[in-house]
Structure formats: C-alpha cells, structure tokens
Structure 1
Amino acid sequence: MTAVQKAEGRRAAVLGSPIAHSLSPVLHRAAYEALGLTGWTYDRFEVDEAALPGFLGDLPEGDWAGLSLTMPLKRAVIPLLDEISETAASVEAVNTVIFTEDGRRIGDNTDIPGILAALRERGVEKVERAAVLGAGATASSALAALSRICTGRITAYVRSEARAAEMRQWGERLAVDVATADWADAARAFSAPLVIATTPAGTTDALAASVPDLPGTLFDVLYEPWPTRLAAAWSAQGGNVVSGLDLLVHQAVLQVERMTGRAPAPLAAMRAAGEQALGT
C-alpha cells in the first residue's frame, strides 16, 4: 500500500491564475468517484507567482496528496520543491506536485507523457516530420514529446526572432532537429504528417482555409471553444484530429495515479465527465 492510500481521505487541488475555467476539478472528482475514494476532495485556487510560496507553506502536513499547476506557476514552483523528475527538468516545467509521507515536495510533468498517450490513442506512434505552431511552455512540452516519436525535422512557426531563438535552444537542449519559420508561412506546416497547434484561442482561425485535402494529424491543444475553426476544417478534409481535451484527460489520468497510488485511473469516466462539462 502506498503512503497516499493509508489516509481515509486526502486533499488535492489545481492552482493557477486565472483558474476559474479549469476542468481539472471535474476530471479528478470523476476519478475519485469511479475509484470509490469517497473521502478525497479536489478544489481550485486562484494563486499567482507571488502568492505561491505562502500557499505551499500554509498547507497542513499530511492532509494533502498533491497539486496540479497551470500557468503561470509551472516554472515558478521549481525553486520551492525538494526534487523534480527528469521529465520536468527537461523542459523546466512542473505541472504536478506530489507530497510524500515524509513531507517532501516532488515535482513532475505529466503534460509530456500526456501528449504521447493522446497521440497513441489516435494511432500516432512514429512520424518522419512534424510542425509546431507557436512557442512558449506548451510548445516546449510538444518538442519534448516529439523528441521521442519524430525521426526527422521539426519546424516551429513563430511570430518573432526571439521566439524562434527560444525554440531552437529547446531543440538543442532536447537533442531534436528544430528549424524555425515565420508565422506568415504557417500554412506550410500542413504538409507535415503531424501538426501540433499550441497557440491561444483564435490564433489559427485564419489558417482554416488553407487545410489541404487528406491532411495528416492535427493535435490542437485547445479544448474550449471546441472544435476550433482549424480543427473543424481539418476534420472536414478527412484529417485525424487530437483535441486539447484528449491531452487534459491523459495528463490528469497520470496525476490521479500518482496522487492516489491507484492505477489504472478511470480514463473513460474522466473523459465522459469532461465532455459533459463542455457540452460536447
């Protein structure tokens, strides 16, 4: 029996700013219900970078199993932890904190294996080329995932030379072949067998008209609104689409397993709860 299973009930939550939109409580609570963990609770808290040290310091020892973290906390939390996994260290981003029985705070990243699991579920296990739309924390996680399944070049389409330099640096760090191109040429990405869109809502709308016949796979990390204009156009042209909800559910499955010590987590129940919450 793991340390987290010894307690009758434990607490967990998602932190970030803004946080009101987060689906994490819906997914984790559905998991607890399916697993019969009646004493477990999962909440959301509005916490920014300045408030994070105080929030962690005030948590009662022994009550908490773990935390999910969203922006802007994924990098801010690292100095406050006792240890982080190799996966989290590879992109300098932690989205999961586990509290051990002896009071240690362990940081992990379930976004990267979540991306891989979501792709695998849709039949994508290896690709010869890939494209990433956008830069930033999600894009770096996408590069880390692609480093495990892409055998050739990855092209990142970005809006500035600063972002381009950042993506090339991540490529060097992750030992992947990353080229960069201007966002004005983003429609060229669609010739790749796998395209991962990591940009905010509305950013790729203008590209929907450029989707070719029979495109490959689009992984659009957004889940609301869904489908995005790009995802809808991709499906209409016969392409394979992986959604942001797929990613959210798969990374949450890993969080639930690590926080509760119970595996496998109930993927189907968690996805159904997410779809119901989104009205899809």
Structure 2
Amino acid sequence: MTLRHRAAVLGSPIAHSLSPVLHRAAYAELGLAGWTYDRHEVDEAALPGFLAGLDAAEWAGLSLTMPLKRAVIPLLDGISSTAASVEAVNTVVFTDDGRRLGDNTDIPGMVAALAERGIERVPEAAILGAGATASSALAALARICDGEVTAYVRSEARASEMRHWGERLGVAVRTADWSEAAKALRAPLVIATTPAGATDTLAAEVPDHAGALFDVLYHPWPTALAAAWTGAVVGGLDLLVHQAVLQVEQMTGAEKAPLAAMRAAGEAALAAR
C-alpha cells in the first residue's frame, strides 16, 4: 500500500497562494484525513535541491507557480503533450515506480472554467497581454476558437512571441498595439492576462452588449474591467479552482475532486483578506 500523502505548492513569492486552501478543502471532502498540503518558498536556484530532498515514499505531487514552470522541466522524467505545447509545467506527480511526471492543468482548467459558463465554442477571440499566461490562453483557444485570435501587446518583441506561440499551437494570431486595446472589448471572448491595474483604463470602454470576459486575476476582485463588463464574466478564481481540481485528481487518484467545496473555500479565503 502506498504511503504517499504529502503535496505542496512551490514558487517565489508564494505566501499569497490559495492552493493550500483549495487542496486541503478537497482532502477534507474526500475523507483523506492523513493528507497534507503546504507551501514552500522555492526559487529556480533552490529547486533541484528541494526535489532531491523529497522522500518519494511520502510525496504524491507538487503544484508549481512562477518562476518554476519552465525551470522544472529538465528535472523531470517526462511531461505531457499539454505541458510540452507551451513549455510550462504547473503539476508534478510522483508515480509508484519513482518517476516525476509533469503536466499543465492551466490549459484544460481554462477550457473547463469557460465551459462551466456555457462558453464551449467561439468564432474569434482577443487576448490582452503576452506573458506566460497568454501562451496558456492561446493553447486553450486552440481547443475552442474557430477563427482568428488578436493579441494586444506593448512591444514588437511581445508581438513576435505571440505569433511564435500561435504558429506552434496552430492558432491564427494577429497582433495589435496596446494603444488599440479598447477594440478587443468587442470580441466574442476576451481573455485578460495582464497584471493588476493594467486594464483599469479600459473599463470605461466596455460596449453595452459585450461578449464574454475571462479575467485571470482573482485578487483584488473584481477588477475594474470585470466590474464594468456587460456580458458573462469568468474570473481567476474559476481558473484556479478548475486547474486545482485536475491536480487533486492526479495526485490522489480520486475519480472526481469536489469542485463546489474547493470553490467555497477559495471564496471564503479571499473574503477574509
């Protein structure tokens, strides 16, 4: 019988992470009384040593946030095709035969969060921003978008990055300067991947009959853009919960993680901040 019962989230900074709240809520609902889930401040330099120090008989898996999603790849025994598509791993599972396998649950988590709100196919879409989350958003759109994706970015370097990811993921990507970002708000689906405050000035430009907005931030919430939105809104907590559901299932072997209990725990934690 396996003794593995430990999991954690790693990153730097990590004190803000809601992952322990979500995973512990899942363990309680699933009756996994002996399971623990902690957070550890780990940067790229410390990651190899941290992994080497783990007891494979105890550890079931890890959640990874920045800046570790790419740094971990050379330290693993294999990664899923989903993780390979964006060269980013946010989930590590330890197998019975001692291997460390990487996956990316952000991408299917985005798709699931949108589907929960009835958004399963879109004719076109817009992305605000061009960082690591934007590449995951493109990968998610590769699964549900039938047409062109327009990315609004602040530099030609970022534009080139997004076009590269589009070619790699098989998505038709057009880039536009951030000065034209208000035009994005008329797309059937807008995915905002920018830091807090970056889209605040766009709130006054929201059309009367907007499509759907997926804003990946969860604190502070709602963002100014989300508060002003006139259509369907999917938030960062939705993404966080759906990707965590997939992590819990992979790490514990549970057939179905308790989505409602995890969301309720996340909402309560955010309300207390």
Alpha-carbon distance, 1:263 to partner: 1.6
Partner of residue 268, structure 1: 260
Q: How does 1:80-119 map to 2 (within 5 A)?
A: 80-119=75-114
Structure 1: distance between partners of 2:241 and 2:208: 29
Alpha-carbon distance, 1:191 to partner: 1.1
Q: Deviations over 1:124-144 (max 9, x none)?
A: 000001000001110000000
1:197 to 180, 184, 192: 192
Structure 1: distance between partners of 2:58 and 2:178: 47
Look up the equivalent residue of 2:242 and give its one-letter code: H
Secondary structure of the structure 2 residue equivalent to 1:241:
strand
Q: Deviations over 1:131-172 (max 9, x none)?
A: 000011100000000001100000000000000000000000
Partner of residue 40, structure 2: 45
1:142 to 137, 141, 153: 137
1:241 aligns with 2:236: no
Structure 1: distance between partners of 2:96 and 2:131: 34
TM-score (normalised: structure 2): 0.98
Structure 2: distance between partners of 1:17 and 1:160: 26
Secondary structure of the structure 1 residue equivalent to 2:265:
helix
Structure 2: distance between partners of 1:171 and 1:9: 39
Alpha-carbon distance, 1:8 to partner: 5.2
Consecutive unaligned residues of structure 2, counting only runs of 5 or more, are none
Partners of 2:83 and 2:104 within 8 A in 1: yes
Partners of 1:205 and 1:228 within 8 A in 2: yes
Q: Deviations over 1:93-147 (max 9, x none)?
A: 0000000011100000000000000000001000001000001110000000000
Q: How does 1:50-199 map to 2 (within 5 A)?
A: 50-199=45-194
Secondary structure of the structure 1 residue equivalent to 2:179:
helix
Stretches of 4+ aligned residues off by more than 4 angstroms = none
Look up the equivalent residue of 1:240 and give its one-letter code: A
Secondary structure of the structure 1 residue equivalent to 2:45:
coil
Partners of 1:15 and 1:44 within 8 A in 2: yes
Q: Deviations over 1:216-242 (max 9, x none)?
A: 0000000000000000000xx3x1000
Q: Deviations over 1:80-104 (max 9, x none)?
A: 0000000000000000000001110
Structure 1: distance between partners of 2:42 and 2:204: 39
Look up the equivalent residue of 2:240 and give its one-letter code: L
1:10 aligns with 2:2: no
Q: How many equivalent residue pairs?
A: 272
TM-score (normalised: structure 1): 0.96
Partners of 1:12 and 1:65 within 8 A in 2: yes
Look up the equivalent residue of 2:123 and give its one-letter code: E
1:229 aligns with 2:224: yes
Secondary structure of the structure 2 residue equivalent to 1:179:
strand
RMSD: 0.9
Structure 2: distance between partners of 1:172 and 1:241: 28
Secondary structure of the structure 2 residue equivalent to 1:252:
helix
Return 43-52 or 8-17, whichever deviates more.
8-17
Alpha-carbon distance, 1:61 to partner: 1.9
Consecutive unaligned residues of structure 1, counting only runs of 5 or more, are 1-5
Secondary structure of the structure 1 residue equivalent to 2:51:
helix
